[in-house]
Amino acid sequence: MFERREFMQLALATAAMTGLPNLSRAAAHQSITQDDILSFEAKGQVTLMNLTDIHAQIVPVYFREPSINLGVGEVFGLPPHITGTDFLAHYGIKAQSPEAYMLTSADFEAMARSYGRAGGLDRIATLVRAIRAERGDDRCLLLDGGDTWHGSYTALETRGQDMVDLMNLMEVDAMTGHWEFTLGADRVLELVDSFNGDFLAQNVRDNEWDEEVFEHTSFYEKGGVKIAVVGQAFPYTPVANPRYMIPSWSFGIRESLVQERIDAARDAGAELVVLLSHNGFDVDRKLASRLTGLDILMTGHTHDAIPQPEVIGNTLMIASGSNGKFLSRLDVKVESGRMVDYSYKLMPILADVITPDPEMAAAVAAVRAPHEAMLNTPLATTESLLYRRGNFNGTFDDLLCQGMLEQRDAEIALSPGFRWGTSLLPGMEITNDDLFNQTSMTYPAVYRLEFTGQQLKDIFEDVADNLFNPDPYFQQGGDMVRVGGMGYTIDVNKTIGDRITDMTLSDGTPVDPSRSYVVAGWASVNEGTEGPAIWELMQDYFADHPQVDIPVNDSVKVIS
């Protein structure tokens, strides 16, 4: 069982950092090393490690957790729908501590300057290999929850091959997917063939023959325990992303089929059953409550980092964050074919604490070397904290909207509510690397179209229902579409058609339902969308704006 003393020991461990000019006095006087991060009271026969939603971030980054993550209906006020000081109080975490920095947005800028960047595959590899050395390969499984082959320039340039090669070096045992599918069906199949682990997606089927496209379950024997891992890809991929990229595949939650897989695994002798899922936290919470025979659910997609397992009936649900910030370790004791005890730790990847693994560091450097000059090219300097996560706005998306308004001569700008995208501190240069961390995708065209006020309202209502429908099975993840040049009021507790009111332009003029407005946006799921790539547009924008300062965005009024 996860214990508070372990987390406090971890707090001391993560405070031991060097080489940062603004290191706080408390952190500077610590002498704990990565051994303390790895400190763990092993239990049982099996060790499961989990990563998810890395989004191709292979070097250390800043990533600010959301300040607003609202839940509706039965999940109101439940993790992960608590943030900031409420999150700290819920889990008994001390303010200004390393846990507070890694898990919340509270005092993010100040603590980021003290504690430094997070993640980096070479740091993750150090922990993974240390755990394997401690427990033995014959007791360990490393599971990747997906959104791995997408999200950086090198992943876009190599069409995912860089991440497959690096995760092969990490010796990942199994993974599932979501943004991987935006590389297109043919490319996904090529990459699956070059992946040394098992790509599992029980809910992806061929439309013509209703046959499985990928393996649904893999069996492993670890520590004398037979383990079944069932994979669940993001169920709404053809809705949230372009259907034309995967025209012959269907997805869906397929709850009854998940239960069939679990039952079949038990019939085949599995003593421990794991669902490796990219459904999203609330969807998986509901799914777990309706399944029997499932021991562990490792959830992904919604980027939630939760410091202890959520217990749903007889199922443990693990949420391991995003962008390589965390590695989950779960030790399990199995007796008479059932899980009887466990220990858990959410290990933060504080880049200045953990010694890089030399082999992985060399591999990462080799991936980036051909592109280093381009990636490091400065485009501008930010005077503001730039981030993406948050239900209604992020300052980097506000910046993208400013760019689209100007460069496309538009009245209104829309930026999708993606949950991937790293953060920058005030005073930092914005490089091409940073820009592509926000925009790297296979459908980046910036359109310029006309929409009526009513059409805009309909768009906002539809996106809001995807996010705030009280039935999790109708939630598709992501955050609200970001807006530039206008604002609105949203009541998250109402139903579709009634959530959005008081739509106004930036000058306070009400948006006329019957009038057409020139709108710029990017990441349209429609095939044949025309316009410059979002990164090309922003490079042009930065050429005219070498200093950027994003004011506090209060254009969206929230009723909760």
pLDDT tens-place string over residues 477-513:
789 999 999 999 999 999 999 999 999 999 999 999 9
Closest CA to 523 of 428, 413, 423: 413
State both tokens at 210: 């209703």
pTM: 0.93
- Residue 317 pairs in a beta bridge with 297, 310
CATH code for position 148: 3.60.21.10
Reported as a single tens digit per residue, the pLDDT across 97-137 is: 888 999 999 999 999 999 999 999 999 999 999 999 999 99
Q: Which residues pair with 14 in a beta bridge?
A: none
pLDDT tens-digit readout, 526-552: 999 999 999 999 999 999 999 999 998
Residue 455: is its pLDDT beyond 60? yes
Share of the chain above pLDDT 90, in %: 90
Residues with Cβ within 8 Å of residue 82, at least 6 apart in sequence = 69, 90
Average per-residue pLDDT in the chain?
A: 93
* Alpha-carbon span 427 to 434, nearest angstrom: 14
* Contact (CB, 8 A) for 10 and 345: yes
- What share of residues in the chain are helix, strand, coil (percent, to 5)? 35, 25, 40
Helix H, strand E, coil C: the string for 256-268 is: HHHHHHHHHHHHC
Q: What does the pLDDT read at residue 477?
A: 73
Q: How many domains does the chain have?
A: 2
How far is C-alpha 54 from the geometric centre of its chain's CA atoms? 7
The pairing of beta strand 249-250 with beta strand 205-206? antiparallel
Q: What is the pLDDT of residue 413?
A: 98
Model confidence at 33, pLDDT cuts 50, 70, 90, reads confident
Q: What is the CATH number of the domain that holds 456?
A: 3.90.780.10
Q: Are residues 417 and 339 in the same domain?
A: no
pLDDT at 557: 96
The residue out of 337, 367, 397 marking a domain boundary is 367
> What pLDDT score was predicted for residue 475?
87
How far apart are alpha carbons 202 and 251 in whole angstroms? 9
Of residues 24 and 400, more confidently modeled: 400
**3-state secondary structure (DSSP) of residue 556:** strand
Whether the predicted pLDDT of 6 surpasses 60 = no
Query: pLDDT, tens digit, for every residue of 388-416?
Result: 998 998 999 999 999 999 999 999 999 99
Quote the pLDDT of residue 211: 95
Tell me if 16 sits within 8 A of 355, measured CB to CB: no
**Cα separation values, 149 from 73, 155, 191, 375, Å:** 34, 6, 9, 18
Residues 188 and 178 sit within 8 Å (Cβ to Cβ): no
Task: Give the end of a domain, one of 367, 389, 412.
Answer: 367
Are 165 and 229 in a shared domain?
yes
Q: What are 251-272's pLDDT values in tens digits?
A: 999 999 999 999 999 999 999 9
Task: Tell me, yes or no, whether 284 and 407 share the same domain.
Answer: no
389 and 358 part of one domain: no
Range of the domain at 548: 376-559
- Residue 478 has what pLDDT? 81
Given a cut of 70, whether residue 3 has pLDDT beyond it is: no
